[in-house]
Amino acid sequence: MGFTAFVPMGAIFPAIAPEHRGAAISAHNLASGLTTFFGPAIATALLPFVGFGGVCWAYALLYLLGSLITVFIRPPQPGFTPEGRRLPVSREAASAPTAA
């Protein structure tokens, strides 16, 4: 739900599903809306039991978990394999002039 804090998910969601761009953007909007709901809900549920410090630690742990999950987001990139290795460059592409 909270990936948007770490990477530009508005661009990555459509890149992951280019044939369903509308649905991808809709899923991104849903995730953004759910974070608006769940943020205060977490505080409301935890505050009576763990206090303000505990709520801060809960948010910190969720933030850490979210940052770790982003390691697995792999949208397709031109010139790279799905595993992240660079594709070999052909001689024609290497000698072609680039636009300045």
pLDDT, tens digit, for every residue of 55-72? 999 999 988 988 888 788
Confidence (pLDDT) at 47: 95
Check residue 94 and give its pLDDT: 56
Residue 15's region, left for phi above 0, alpha for psi from -120 to 50, else beta, is: alpha
CA distance 41 to 52: 14
Q: What percent of the chain has pLDDT over 90?
A: 22
User: What is the chain's mean pLDDT, rounded?
Assistant: 80
Contact call for residues 87 and 80 (beta carbons, < 8 A): yes
Residues 18, 21, 24, 29, CA torsion sign: positive
The whole-model pTM stands at 0.59
pLDDT at 1 over 50: no
* pLDDT beyond 50 at 39: yes
